[in-house]
Amino acid sequence: MLISVEIPESAEAARAGLQSGALPLGGGTHLMARLNDEAAGDLRLVSLRKAGLRGIHVEGATVVMGAATTLADLEDDARLGYLSRCVRSIASPPVRSLATVAGNLFVPQPYGDLAAALLALDAELDVLGAGGARREPLERIVTGGLPAGELVTGVRFTAPAPGTFRFHKASRRRLNSGSIVTVAARITVEDGLVGDVRLVLGGLGRRLIRATGAERVLLGAPLTAETVARAAEADVIEPVGDAYASAWYRARVYPVHLRRALLGA
Amino acid sequence: MPSTIVTLTLNGTERELIARPSTTLLNALRETFGLMGAKRGCAQGGCGSCTVLLDGRPAVSCLIPVVTVGGSTVDTIEGLADGDRLTDVQQAFVDHFATQCGFCTPGMIMSATALLDRNPDPTRQDVTEAICGNVCRCTGYEPIITAVLSAAERRRDAPQSPATAGL
Ligand SMILES: Cc1cc2nc3c(=O)[nH]c(=O)nc-3n(C[C@H](O)[C@H](O)[C@H](O)COP(=O)(O)OP(=O)(O)OC[C@H]3O[C@@H](n4cnc5c(N)ncnc54)[C@H](O)[C@@H]3O)c2cc1C
Ligand code: FES
Ligand code: FES
């Protein structure tokens, strides 16, 4: 049961509101669904809707998104065309108009498709804690979590050069379905050889996976079906089974979807 | 935490309610305002039968604590027709047999209305994407897609009567 909802009007007031053990509420598309499930316990929330954390700023190649920016805001922004495939693969329009960027970073797998894209883009988070504001690599938060009482206020990353960002999500249905395998990558190819690569997998573990083994295989190699097949063998993939797909199926089809993500076929 | 007073612009009129922290927008619409169009199907964001327009955007009202949206504009299916005069989207649903049991229809029409207000010339793919969060157990979706495309066509031919005229 939801026992309190604060609606602070600044990020600092929101952070202060978390001290009582309350959780930040973005769009509520994960938290409220859990609460509506009768089994959920008592919860206190601090809504970020009016805390001034919504908006997208692009300066040169630097992109900064407020934590409470909605997925619909991203979808509408022509400057973020490279994220459109990812965003439109998430839920449905009436969910995306509520769902926030920061909320996506903390939902359990197989959700977190935007988080996969942002991790591939090596995003940094603006975090507000008791000791003030600081920046943290998203990668650290994905592995270690965010300390209780702290708040993400923004996400920043360098926009990928044209043609260097890949996103591919395999799901049960073409639209509005959780991930079976999500592949997000930033990859540059020079003279047929992979010059730089950052590869992230969703749907294949309890957390997002940075596929460092596959990255090592790809780096400096020709971007061919043969290389990608070897890359798909390079990481330990221990997927989870759920209503979307069994663990066995996910492991089985991962190489296919890595190939589709990197080679388009 | 005590109840608080929340103000909404609901179907064009300013309305107030006293809400507990746990009151969702959907509950407020149905139980306080007696607007039964939006339905509680799943309460998980998955079926779309509770879809309303929040500040002009389609949104699942079952996942919104109403206290967080004070000051917002909310439009529901009840606000669309002008007396007996249906909007173009509503009329197209009737003409194309796009409703059977009717449980999904209010949410479906709000999603379709939101689409046409932003994109007057949608492709079939645009329509499918716009209603992908609205589950229909009866129609098989085809009549719904046809209805939305035909409403768009009719609106292009008669641009003086937008679906949300009167909102
Ligand atoms: C029908 C349906 C389908 C879905 N399909 C997908 C899908 O395909 N892919 C996908 O990725 N997701 C999917 N989701 C999950 C969810 O909608 C999204 O992940 C969304 O981005 C979550 O954001 P939110 O703001 O609604 O999160 P909330 O529910 O508000 O919060 C989620 C978590 O993040 C924490 N949090 C929120 N904001 C902050 C902050 N600023 N700082 C620190 N912690 C914070 C909350 O405390 C909570 O633990 C789906 C959900 C539904 C209901
Ligand atoms: S009742 Fe809200 S989406 Fe199903
Ligand atoms: S008409 Fe019955 S659910 Fe759509």
ipTM: 0.95
Centre of ligand 3 from the C-alpha of residue A169, in Å: 29
Helices (H), A58-149: 71-76, 84-88, 93-96, 101-105, 113-120, 138-144
Q: Which atom of ligand 3 is nearest to the CA of B102?
A: 1
Count CB-CB contacts under 10 A for residue A85: 16
User: Is the peptide bond prior to B159 cis by the omega test (within 30 degrees of 0)?
Assistant: no
Q: pTM score, two decimals?
A: 0.96
- The nearest CA of chain B is from the CA of A114 a distance in Å of 18
Q: How far is CA B18 from the centre of its chain?
A: 23
Count CB-CB contacts under 10 A for residue B159: 9
Residue B65 sits at the vertex; the CA angle it makes with A109 and B113, to the nearest 5 degrees, is 85
Helices (H), chain B: 25-27, 88-95, 105-118, 124-130, 142-157
B127 to chain A, any CB pair closer than 8 A? The answer is no
Chain A hits for B63, CB-CB cut-off 8 Å, are 27-29, 32-33, 36, 95, 98
Give, as one character, the DSSP assignment of residue A108.
P
CATH topology of domain A2-47: 3.30.43
Could you tell me if A91 and B133 are in contact, meaning their C-beta atoms sit under 8 angstroms apart? yes
B54/A37 CB distance under 8 A:
no
CA distance B61 to B66: 9
Low pLDDT (below 70) residues in chain A:
none
Residue A194 sits at the vertex; the CA angle it makes with A189 and A198, to the nearest 5 degrees, is 100
A32/B62 CB distance under 8 A:
yes
User: Could you give all domains of chain B from N- to C-terminal order, each with its CATH number?
Assistant: 4-75 (3.10.20.30), 88-157 (1.10.150.120)
The 10 Å CB-count burial string (b at 16+, else e) for A24-60 is bbbbbbbbbbebbeeeeeebbbbbbbbbebbebeeee
A97/B57 CB distance under 8 A:
yes
Residue nearest to atom 50 of ligand 1 (CA): A91
Torsions phi, psi for B166 (to 5 deg)? 95, -10
Per CATH, is A56-158 categorized as 3.30.465.10? yes
Q: What is the pLDDT along chain B (167 residues), one digit of tens a residue?
A: 689 999 999 999 999 999 999 999 999 999 999 999 999 999 999 999 999 999 999 999 999 999 999 999 999 999 999 999 999 999 999 999 999 999 999 999 999 999 999 999 999 999 999 999 999 999 999 999 999 999 999 998 876 555 555 44
pLDDT of residue B158: 79
Torsions phi, psi for A166 (to 5 deg)? -120, 140
Half-sphere exposure (Cβ direction) of B111: Cα atoms closer than 13 Å: 34
Q: Least CB-CB distance to A5: which of B21, B43, B48?
A: B21
CATH topology of domain A165-263: Enolase-like; domain 1 (3.30.390)
Kindly list the domain boundaries of chain A, sorted by start residue: 2-47, 56-158, 165-263
Residue of B nearest to A9 (CA): B68
In total, chain B counts a number of residues equal to 167
Q: Which of A196, A195, A183, A186 is nearest to A164 (CA)?
A: A186
CA distance B145 to B126: 10
